[in-house]
Amino acid sequence: MIINTIIYFIFTLITHSICKKFNFFLDIKDHDHKRFASNKKNYFVGGFLIALILIYNFVDQKDYLYGLFFISIFIIGLFADFKLFNNPKLRLLVQISLLLIFVYILDIRIPSTRIEIIDILFENDFINYSFTVFCLAILINGSNFVDGINTLLINYYIIVLGLILFFLKDLNIDQYFVTNFFSLLIIILLFNIFGQIILGDSGAYILSLFIGLILINVSNENNLISPYFIILLIWYPCFELLFSMTRRLVFNLYSYKPDTMHLHQMILKIISNNLKFKSNNVNHFFAASIINLYNLFILMISLNYNDKTNIMLALIAINITVYISTYLVLKKKLKLPQS
């Protein structure tokens, strides 16, 4: 693992240097939400690095369909990063179409919900596949949503993978590969802290897809673990998206138009306005750390009760209450418009 980590670091350093010299994978600040995050040059090479290790692993394991699945989702994100696929509705349609095709071919299913009537419905292949696609689409796009602050998304998933690797025992996952993947994420995080490398849409898409498929597998292979523990592990990016969609519907706003009215952006504004760090990277790191430390606290509690559905539901309810309460308080403090 140590040798692989060193190799990943050297390769990441070389890749970043090449991108910096030739302006490859340069992030273009063409929207307010991108300029809000940073005005400095950074490179969305994180997705490229993640794609390389994932595709290499799938080819090595002869899981060619999974490799094609991830390449397809990565290309959609890459086209978005290069501003070659700017229509969000069309992009979502293509994304969902690909999810439907591969979820069906690979027979990816959501396991038991521990709600009898829903489990009966899930015995129908069409309903189960459709719900699986819905969940993956929410996770993928929610993850892309919260990636507006450096270190927020990648550190969140480092926490999730760390809990799976080091605290949950007897899981039917490829420990060797997931550990190496974990090491790569930490290296990308180090570059992300300083605003040098970002995930971009391509990185957010395939990272969240990989986490989602791992969690579906964990839930399928471990009947003792509550499915709501799995939901709790990914509640934050999913709820950010669902809350934003609800907010825009209530206030009759364009659902696909990016804005800076999300909770993570409000926290960043509060830190920037009050702590006044000279480096915007420090502001990002503090804002992301506040969110991730809260999630780490909740997830550490959940580990001891991961088979208790009632406790998992209570923790999810607490998270939602804290999120909405914090959002309303910060919105009032920042004197933001009613939207």
**pLDDT of 100 higher than 90:** yes
Q: Which two tokens stand for residue 218?
A: 């964990």
Q: How far apart are CA 216 and CA 99, in angstroms?
A: 14
DSSP result, 46-66: HHHHHHHHHHHHHHHTT-HHH
Q: Which residues pair with 26 in a beta bridge?
A: 43
**What residue type is 248 in one-letter code?**
R
Q: Which two tokens stand for residue 125?
A: 């292949």
Encode pLDDT of 162-202 as tens digits: 999 988 877 878 888 999 999 999 999 999 998 889 999 99
Q: How far apart are CA 249 and CA 246, in angstroms?
A: 5
Q: How far apart are CA 186 and CA 159, in angstroms?
A: 10
Q: How far apart are CA 97 and CA 100, in angstroms?
A: 5
Q: How far apart are CA 266 and CA 187, in angstroms?
A: 27
Assess contact for 234 and 108: CB atoms under 8 A. no
Helix axis angle, 200-221 to 46-60, nearest 10°: 40
Backbone angles phi, psi at 26, to 5 degrees: -75, 130
Alpha carbons within 13 A on the beta-carbon side of 115: 10
Label residue 196 exposed, middle or buried (CB < 10 Å: 0-12, 13-18, 19+). Answer: buried
**pLDDT of 41 higher than 80:** no
Taking residues 96-119, report their average pLDDT: 92
Band (261; pLDDT cuts 50, 70, 90)? confident
**pLDDT of 38 higher than 60:** no
Supply the mean pLDDT for the chain.
89
Residue 297: C-alpha distances to residues 258, 291, 300 (Å) = 30, 10, 5
Alpha carbons within 13 A on the beta-carbon side of 74: 23
DSSP result, 109-173: -----S-HHHHHHHTSHHHHHHHHHHHHHHHHHHHHHHTTSTTHHHHHHHHHHHHHHHTS-S--S
Taking residues 219-233, report their average pLDDT: 92
Taking residues 209-216, report their average pLDDT: 96
Assess contact for 246 and 150: CB atoms under 8 A. no
User: Closest Cα partner for 65 from 105, 28, 5?
Assistant: 105
User: Closest Cα partner for 311 from 229, 235, 233?
Assistant: 229
Encode pLDDT of 274-296 as tens digits: 887 878 889 999 999 999 999 99
Q: How many CB atoms lie within 10 A of CB 260?
A: 17
DSSP result, 201-218: HHHHHHHHHHHHHHHHHH
Q: What is the largest CA-CA distance in the chain?
A: 58
Taking residues 60-84, report their average pLDDT: 94
Encode pLDDT of 145-167 as tens digits: 999 899 999 999 999 999 999 88
Q: Which residues pair with 43 in a beta bridge?
A: 26, 197
pTM for the structure as a whole: 0.92
